[in-house]
Amino acid sequence: GAVVSQHPSWVICKSGTSVKIECRSLDFQATTMFWYRQFPKQSLMLMATSNEGSKATYEQGVEKDKFLINHASLTLSTLTVTSAHPEDSSFYICSAQSGITDTQYFGPGTRLTVL
Amino acid sequence: QQQVKQSPQSLIVQKGGISIINCAYENTAFDYFPWYQQFPGKGPALLIAIRPDVSEKKEGRFTISFNKSAKQFSLHIMDSQPGDSATYFCAAHHPGANNLFFGTGTRLTVIP
């Protein structure tokens, strides 16, 4: 149980385009989902927290207009990187948490490369 | 400010040996301490977790030791195998913020 999927697993896009990443909890309802960014050989950096049906809460320094997060249902959250630039290239990972426990289950990650 | 300090940064262990990774924290509000295992190009996978009312938890070859007074916790991997080679992250959960604060990670290499 507690499986979280992400799609796509990797994406290459041109500078200036927008990219949408989906995060789904497959076997449980996720009241809260989290989006992280990870640079090579570094720890996870929390970008934002989203609760189903509410606006996301962004961490300090994360541009909410650039990283649009939507948590429309208890099993789906999306992260849209708008007007992507090469510096946005990174490994993006989501995690999901049910309302019953504070355990976070992570997705497999999405490798974004912006040319 | 790093809320959770993790050491060592890297660790090399012989097959069959014991791998020990340590973490320390300051905020006594933390209420849950998970360890995650991450392979290259993959998301972190929950390995084992502990709450501060317990001093030790064991699951198979993995054991967490928790010292509440010292605000330290550690992961012990017994009989380490080459397949255990990965990066390990400790974390601490803050109930108010409902956030996980991660350590900086330990890259474990188990040599045959």
A5-64: pLDDT as tens digits: 999 999 999 999 999 999 999 999 998 999 999 999 999 999 999 988 888 999 999 999
pLDDT at A97: 93
Q: Is the dihedral of CA A42, B50, B73, A57 positive or negative?
A: positive
pLDDT at A82: 97
Question: Residue holding tokens 């999405």?
Answer: A110
State yes or no: pLDDT of B19 exceeds 80: yes
Size of interface A-B (CB pairs under 8 A): 51
State yes or no: pLDDT of A1 exceeds 70: no
Hey, what amino acid is at B25? Y
pLDDT at B97: 85
pLDDT at B2: 81
B41-61: pLDDT as tens digits: 999 999 999 999 999 999 999
Q: Which residues contact A93 (CB under 8 A, 6 or more apart)?
A: A6, A35, A36, A37, A38, A44, A106, A107, A108, A109, A110, B43, B44
Indicate the pLDDT class of residue B90, thresholds 50, 70 and 90: very high
- Which chain B positions have a beta carbon within 8 Å of A93's beta carbon? 43-44
| Proportion of chain B above pLDDT 70, given as a percent | 100
State yes or no: pLDDT of B93 exceeds 90: yes
- A76, burial (CB in 10 Å: exposed 0-12, middle 13-18, buried 19+): middle
pLDDT at B1: 73
Is pLDDT larger for residue A100 or for residue B75?
B75
pLDDT at A72: 83
Distance, in Å, from the CA atom of A103 to the CA atom of A113, rounded to the nearest integer, reads 30
Chain A residues touching chain B at CB-CB below 8 Å: 2, 4, 6, 32, 34, 41-44, 46, 49, 91, 93, 95, 97, 102-109, 111
pLDDT at A102: 83
**Stretch B75-93: mean pLDDT:** 98
pLDDT at B62: 98
How does DSSP classify residue B83?
Answer: G
Partnered with residue B102 across adjacent β-strands are B91
pLDDT at B30: 95
Distance, in Å, from the CA atom of A114 to the CA atom of B34, rounded to the nearest integer, reads 33
Instruction: Give the DSSP per-residue string, A52-111.
Output: TTS--EEPTT--TTTEEEEEEETTEEEEEE-S--GGG-EEEEEEEE-SS----EE---EE
What's the gap in Å between the CA of B22 and the closest CA on chain A? Answer: 16
Is residue A69 within 8 Å of residue A52, measured between CB atoms?
A: no
- For the record, the structure tokens of A13 come out as 């896009």
